[in-house]
Structure 1
């Protein structure tokens, strides 16, 4: 399959690997798309796993509804359930990075019957994140979230001069130039950046639906050079998992784990899948 539909929206998806392999759903974050997994997915295929990597809500050109409430967590998790239904899958292993990781936490708490295992890269459980915001430097690391709430201003700042500011941000994070070019080009598509920022702007709606405790085997991967997410939230995440949980720390890797440590990610995901 190369697409699926939900509520009149059409989502692009990369479905690859052995058709009868264990299914693994790969969920990207901001400002990525399914290309974030382009070096992870082939390694998973070599281990006999099938991957489904959607361009999520706001990132697929035909799935960019206007209005912040359309990007609340209940909607973004329902999109993944629609993907599973369209693929004829009762459940799948879920791997998420950044915002995709937050969707993964929610799926593991709200829909454990649809998730075989959960692997979250970078972002802590939202309840652990909330604790870290008042007990560590996490609020300083997350200053940009407040800026992203302002209408129009972030779009103008990030996309001015052919996306120069966004380009600098991604380069400083260590992303290769071709990856930076791809992400900036996607965010310059009509309405793309505003739609992607909708995930942040929907936080007041998402906060009305507490994620709760996760009830599936969970692997949490965090990297020490992540400028956006500190250790405090990560180390508190296990308090919100009522299933086998393991934290894996990658030394010296920045925030962009799928792009910068793909072989390690593939090995960890494969081992987690096989252990279950």
Structure 2
């Protein structure tokens, strides 16, 4: 594990591959860690990429931001700053799952000259899912988002709660190793508050910080770099109805692709690593 400073934070990260290879920046979501990319990093390295998976802002051992910024624009700014700090070129690619997908949409749209292609998993563009998000079935799945707006959130977010989310979101997957990594990332009250802060910034405009306004806007625009979008058919967090490929494609740049991955839930990169890795490497090549 290494550490690099970007956007005013010390980011811890995992890496694989040649130092002079094109950068492949891999961004995790909630409740997860950089270890979620443990199957993909060596495959990217074998393909010649310098694959880097940072722990996202607020997730130990990465620092907790002093300004309390957790909006999508801040995540996009982090990705752009990491590209700069890691000496990425215009041949870099960016891959994001869950909250990492929000960061990927924003970074690719705001700074298209920094990225050749993008991949997102499990969270479609926000404009693509708005209609289906407010269905009764999806609102039941999204209960945790509304819980996280309350003062009870910090007490609720313990190991048992996280185990329940993984069990519901990726049915049948043994997440014991991953949950151990998550608990390491959320080892202090400040880290727990940070993870919840992502969701509070999502629904509370007062938490949006002006310095990230441009990146925030980019996170909900189409952009120009082609995107591969992957969604597990058994995703218990965002049901497949929220990620209909035809609908998703209308909100992605020209040349993009949207695919449903069989026998996979929300953490599809861990549940079906060979299938997902093949799709990603084929897309990047």
Give TM-score scaled by structure 2 length.
Answer: 0.86
Within 1, Cα distance between the matches of 2:12 and 2:29? Answer: 15
Structure 1 residue 271 and structure 2 residue 282: aligned?
A: yes
Deviations 1:208-260 (A, max 9, x none): 74421131111000011101112233222211123211112111211111221
Within 1, Cα distance between the matches of 2:143 and 2:161? Answer: 16
SS for the counterpart of 2:157 is helix
Report the alpha carbon displacement of residue 24 of structure 1 after superposing the two structures with TM: 0.8
Structure 1 residue 233 and structure 2 residue 229: aligned?
A: no
Relative to structure 1, is the Cα distance of residues 227 and 79 closer, same or farther in structure 2, using a 3 angstrom cutoff? same
Within 2, Cα distance between the matches of 1:39 and 1:116? Answer: 22
Structure 1 residue 170 and structure 2 residue 166: aligned?
A: yes
Q: Could you tell which deviates more after superposition, 208-217 or 140-149?
A: 208-217
Deviations 1:19-76 (A, max 9, x none): 23232110000011111111211122222222011111111435213565x1111211
Q: Could you tell which deviates more after superposition, 47-56 or 15-24?
A: 15-24
**Counterpart position of 2:268:** 257
Within 2, Cα distance between the matches of 1:44 and 1:124? Answer: 23
Correspondence list, 1:1-276, <5 A: 2-65=2-65, 68=68, 70-91=69-90, 92-134=92-134, 137-151=137-151, 153-159=152-158, 163-172=159-168, 173=170, 174-203=173-202, 204-205=204-205, 209-210=216-217, 211-235=220-244, 236-274=247-285
Deviations 1:60-97 (A, max 9, x none): 435213565x1111211111111111111133111100
Structure 2: where are the runs of 5+ without partners? none
Aligned residues: 269
Contact 2:56 2:62 in 1 (8 A): no
Q: Could you tell which deviates more after superposition, 122-131 or 257-266?
A: 257-266
Contact 2:9 2:62 in 1 (8 A): yes
Within 2, Cα distance between the matches of 1:246 and 1:6? Answer: 31
SS for the counterpart of 2:188 is coil
Contact 2:227 2:253 in 1 (8 A): no
Within 2, Cα distance between the matches of 1:107 and 1:62? Answer: 19
Relative to structure 1, is the Cα distance of residues 17 and 186 closer, same or farther in structure 2, using a 3 angstrom cutoff? same
Contact 1:175 1:256 in 2 (8 A): no
Within 1, Cα distance between the matches of 2:135 and 2:189? Answer: 39
Q: CA RMSD in A?
A: 2.2
Within 1, Cα distance between the matches of 2:82 and 2:256? Answer: 26
Contact 1:148 1:197 in 2 (8 A): yes
Within 2, Cα distance between the matches of 1:77 and 1:177? Answer: 30
Q: Could you tell which deviates more after superposition, 252-261 or 230-239?
A: 230-239
